[in-house]
């Protein structure tokens, strides 16, 4: 089975030409795929019946995701879905909305996609990490997650404005499929979202960060740091190498130098583990003069023994970084009551 959502516009054209058809037919497929959301090839009315039959005969299909479970936060701003991929594999995808801006009346609508089923990195505080690794998610399956929400938003007169690779899995371990998904979703003849509206989050796959810097893509990078020294970091990220903290800071600098895009460091704050004022000072010394941004994420408690720090200690941690001149924000917690941390919903629903 060959999924039409896998093909980049140039590949779609080649496929059409190989079928002995005129090149312009590619756009007669691409436009409906990204704007009309057909579930079957027979629904692509722009195409002559003969072409639709031919595509089906050649084994082409339209892969879509099916909603199996939905949770919405009390304020309605966060919607978390458990979606079955075309082969029935359940994955999590989240929509996070921010209030409408006064300028165009549209909310910022960020989709958070999964790139792997489970994750082999085994981070001790992460529900996905505790599942182990099942399989990589293909580019067309990442696209299907976005398309599912695009259709849902369209019904409300809204659209997808931002995309973050922060769901289940480590995107830079599934490098080729992640980049193909980025290219499909940013192509002006594909989904057409701006590269600058995309962020990839990584636990720190150095080779992947360096490769990404060479891609000629203007996407944002977030590095999940979680600790200012290797000893503490290895407790949280058991797969991290012995020099991972220094290596990550250096990789972040290289990414910035090459792309001009500032790197964000993510830091999950865990009570009594990495949230003390001393550790905040150590972190500020590490990042001082780096021009980088820190995103503090108060922990979404998962099944493990880790807890979220009090609001007071979160603010104190933030204050110490800010005083030291390190640019820092606390992630607005929107999804806690709906298990919005990656991997939690799948665990809640499927056990």
Residue 30 Cβ vs ligand SF4, minimum distance, rounded to whole Å: 32
Contact 225, 265 (CB under 8 A): yes
Active site residue 337: no
Contact 92, 343 (CB under 8 A): yes
Binding site partner of 339, from ligand SAH, ligand SF4, none, Cβ cut-off 5-8 A by kind: none
User: Which residue number has the CB closest to ligand SF4?
Assistant: 129
Residue 201 Cβ vs ligand SAH, minimum distance, rounded to whole Å: 4
- Is 327 annotated as a binding-site member? no
Looking up tokens 């204050």 gives: 319
Does 145 bind ligand SAH (CB under 6 A)? Our answer is no
Does 275 bind ligand SAH (CB under 6 A)? Our answer is no
Looking up tokens 């978390």 gives: 80
Does 199 bind ligand SAH (CB under 6 A)? Our answer is no
Q: Which is nearer to ligand SAH, 174 or 290 (CB)?
A: 174
Q: Which is nearer to ligand SAH, 111 or 297 (CB)?
A: 297
Does 15 bind ligand SAH (CB under 6 A)? Our answer is no
Q: Which is nearer to ligand SF4, 7 or 113 (CB)?
A: 113
Out of 13, 92, 141, 318, the active site residue is 92
Does 202 bind ligand SAH (CB under 6 A)? Our answer is yes
Q: Give the residue, chosen from 97, 178, 197, 300, that forms a contact with ligand SAH under the rule CB under 6 A.
A: 300
What's the CA gap between 165 and 172, in Å, rounded?
10
Residue 135 Cβ vs ligand SAH, minimum distance, rounded to whole Å: 15
- Is 170 annotated as a binding-site member? yes
Q: Could you list the residues that contact ligand SF4 (CB under 6 A)?
A: 119, 121-123, 126, 128-129, 169-170, 203, 224, 342
Binding site partner of 341, from ligand SF4, ligand SAH, none, Cβ cut-off 5-8 A by kind: ligand SAH
Binding site partner of 300, from ligand SF4, ligand SAH, none, Cβ cut-off 5-8 A by kind: ligand SAH
Residue 130 Cβ vs ligand SF4, minimum distance, rounded to whole Å: 8
Active site residue 92: yes
Does 248 bind ligand SAH (CB under 6 A)? Our answer is no
What's the CA gap between 296 and 317, in Å, rounded?
9
Positions at the binding site for [4Fe-4S] cluster: 119, 123, 126
Which residues are identified as catalytic?
92, 342
Q: Which residues bind ligand SAH (CB under 6 A)?
A: 125-126, 166, 170, 201-203, 224, 266, 268, 297, 299-300, 302, 341-342
């Amino acid at each position: 089975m060959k999924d039409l959502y896998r093909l980049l516009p140039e590949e779609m054209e080649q496929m059409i030409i190989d079928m002995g058809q005129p090149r312009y037919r590619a756009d007669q497929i691409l436009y409906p795929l990204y704007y009309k959301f057909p579930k079957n090839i027979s629904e692509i009315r722009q195409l002559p019946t003969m072409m639709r039959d031919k595509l089906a005969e050649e084994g082409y299909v339209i892969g879509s995701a099916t909603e199996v479970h939905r949770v919405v936060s009390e304020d309605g701003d966060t919607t978390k879905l458990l979606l079955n991929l075309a082969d029935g594999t359940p994955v999590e995808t989240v929509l996070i909305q921010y209030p409408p801006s006064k300028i165009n009346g549209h909310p910022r609508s960020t989709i958070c996609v999964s790139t792997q089923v489970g994750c082999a990195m085994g981070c001790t505080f992460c529900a996905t990490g505790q599942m182990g690794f099942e399989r990589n998610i293909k580019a067309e399956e990442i696209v299907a997650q976005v398309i599912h929400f695009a259709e849902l938003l369209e019904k409300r007169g809204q659209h997808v404005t931002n995309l973050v690779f922060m769901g289940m899995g480590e995107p830079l371990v599934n490098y080729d499929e992640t980049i193909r998904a980025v290219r499909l979703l940013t192509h002006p003849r594909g989904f057409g979202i701006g590269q600058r509206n995309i962020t990839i989050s990584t636990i720190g796959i150095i080779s992947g960060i360096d490769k990404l810097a060479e891609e000629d893509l203007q996407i944002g990078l977030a590095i999940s740091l979680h600790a200012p020294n290797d000893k503490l970091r290895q407790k949280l990220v058991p797969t991290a190498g012995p020099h991972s903290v220094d290596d990550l800071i250096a990789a972040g600098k290289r990414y910035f130098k090459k792309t001009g895009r500032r790197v964000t460091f993510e830091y999950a704050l865990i009570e009594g583990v990495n949230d003390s004022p001393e550790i905040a000072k150590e972190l500020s010394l590490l990042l001082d003069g780096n021009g980088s941004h820190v995103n503090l994420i108060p922990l979404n408690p998962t099944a493990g023994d880790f807890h979220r720090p009090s609001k007071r200690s979160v603010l104190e941690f933030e204050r110490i970084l800010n005083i030291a001149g390190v640019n820092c924000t606390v992630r607005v917690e929107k999804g806690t009551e709906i298990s919005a941390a990656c991997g939690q919903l799948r665990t809640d629903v499927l056990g």
